[in-house]
Amino acid sequence: MKEKGSSFSGSIGFVLAAAGSAVGVGNIWRFPYLCAKDGGGLFLLVYLVLVLTFGFVLLTTDVAIGRKTKKNALRAFEALNPKWKFLGKLTFLVPTLIMTYYSVIGGWIAKYFVTYIISDRKDAATDGYFTAFITSDIAPIVFMLVFLALTAWIVYRGVEKGIEKFSKIIMPGLILLILIIAIFSLTLTHTDADGTVRAGMEGLAFYVKPDFSGLTVKRFLEILLDAMSQLFFSLSVSMGIMITYGSYVKNEVNLNKATNQIEIFDTGVAFLAGMMIIPAVFVFLGTDGMASGPSLIFISLPKVFDAMGVLGQPVAIAFFLMMGFAALTSCVSVMETLVANCMELYHKPRKKMCGAVGIYSLITAVVICLGYNKLYFELKLPNGSVGQLLDVMDYISNSFLMPFISLLTSILIGWVIGPNWIIGEVERNGEHFKRAGLYRFMIRYVVPIVMLILFLVSTGFADL
């Protein structure tokens, strides 16, 4: 069932909501780390080229499919071609998996935010603090519950009064906070016990200066693949989310301009996140201090905040508030996609489906929380890493499903339906689509080949 009047009020509403989905924990805990690991400015450059080519093609495809069919992934692919109905199901699987753990991470952020408000900055910096928290019985579930309730409440309020309204408040707040912290980060200096002085500006150079040392073809391919998988996750493409958000976009909106703005927003925040984190880590922990994922945010940064002295606590509060904003709007987009698909499938109103999806999310998130505790196990993943329940979900959705879905989507659009279908939709408001030639070439030839390689490497079927 299509809700009456469920659309974004205009271009800005759509851009901010979509940017809200795109800007998430990936921008903050993975992008800076990849930069530090993959040659600083070299990675930045590669990433930028990919955003302007792959990012632009994949985002345009998803949004245009949504707007043209006015349907969600489950039904949209079927509407494109009944034989490709399975691709809708596959796409729907991604938010179904991500929903199980995203609110758990949101809960961790909420926990740190509260910790920095009520206690001394030393608490979160003590060794073993994070592990003790995530392996405890009740606390991770309680914080997850708070985060999930907030997410569900926004989704329950609907597209314009919930998602759009909150994105319009949260996203500018996020930018402001990240800018303040990034500037502050550049002004830092620190003297080690042995007298070595390090300044934030040197850390900035480490971040933006391309490092070509030891660069081989194999190394370059590794950097390319790192940047590619980061791009997917970061833009929230190939998981049905941008199809759902696209279905709420009015026909008169200039799609080309809107997708460009979403990309600028997402990449800009990722860049600022690096500017905020890399100099601070460099100043206080040195060049080896960079870590990826949860250990960067919940273990390394608390040590940095502690080393900042009295200013550490307010900066930490601002940081976790900003992080919470980023995670909330992303989690909202995952839940909204599930709710919207279910509404269409079962012809039930938003409120009912919100309840059903809420219960699903709650039960699965509790199981994920217990994955660090009663249900603890370690599994070796095909890509060589060892993970718990959360990592397994993350692996299936990001390393396996997302490249596979992009591969199939590019074949469907490039070869079965034809790129003109998308180009026509982008030009619907009368605006000429300048990069139509690039789009056509990419979706037919480049995207399928590169996605196949990415899929084979990230699933461990092939080595570089």
* Other C-beta atoms lying within 10 Å of the C-beta of residue 400: 19
334 scored as a contact of ligand PHE (CB under 6 A): yes
Write down the least CB distance from residue 405 to ligand PHE, Å. Answer: 13
Q: Where does this chain touch ligand PHE (CB under 6 A) — which range of 155-163, 233-241, 275-283, 445-453?
A: 233-241
Residue nearest to ligand PHE (CB): 24
Write down the least CB distance from residue 20 to ligand PHE, Å. Answer: 9
Q: Which of 228, 185, 181 is nearest to 38 (CA)?
A: 228
Interaction mask 238-277, ligand PHE, x per CB under 6 A: -x-x------------------------------------
Q: Which of 7, 234, 261, 361 binds ligand PHE (CB under 6 A)?
A: 234
Q: Which of 20, 26, 240, 448 binds ligand PHE (CB under 6 A)?
A: 26
Total chain residues near ligand PHE (CB under 6 A): 15
Write down the least CB distance from residue 272 to ligand PHE, Å. Answer: 14
Q: Which of 14, 19, 27, 181 binds ligand PHE (CB under 6 A)?
A: 27
Q: Where does this chain touch ligand PHE (CB under 6 A) — which range of 235-243, 307-315, 378-386, 442-450?
A: 235-243
Between residues 185 and 238, which has the closer beta carbon with respect to ligand PHE?
238
Write down the least CB distance from residue 313 to ligand PHE, Å. Answer: 26
Between residues 8 and 282, which has the closer beta carbon with respect to ligand PHE?
8
- Give me the residues paired with residue 197 across strands: 191
Between residues 334 and 451, which has the closer beta carbon with respect to ligand PHE?
334
Q: Which of 330, 409, 410, 458 binds ligand PHE (CB under 6 A)?
A: 330
Q: Which of 300, 333, 361, 409 binds ligand PHE (CB under 6 A)?
A: 333
Interaction residues for ligand PHE, span 29-88 (CB under 6 A): none
Between residues 167 and 234, which has the closer beta carbon with respect to ligand PHE?
234
Task: List interacting residues with ligand PHE (CB under 6 A).
Answer: 21-22, 24-27, 98, 233-234, 236, 239, 241, 330, 333-334
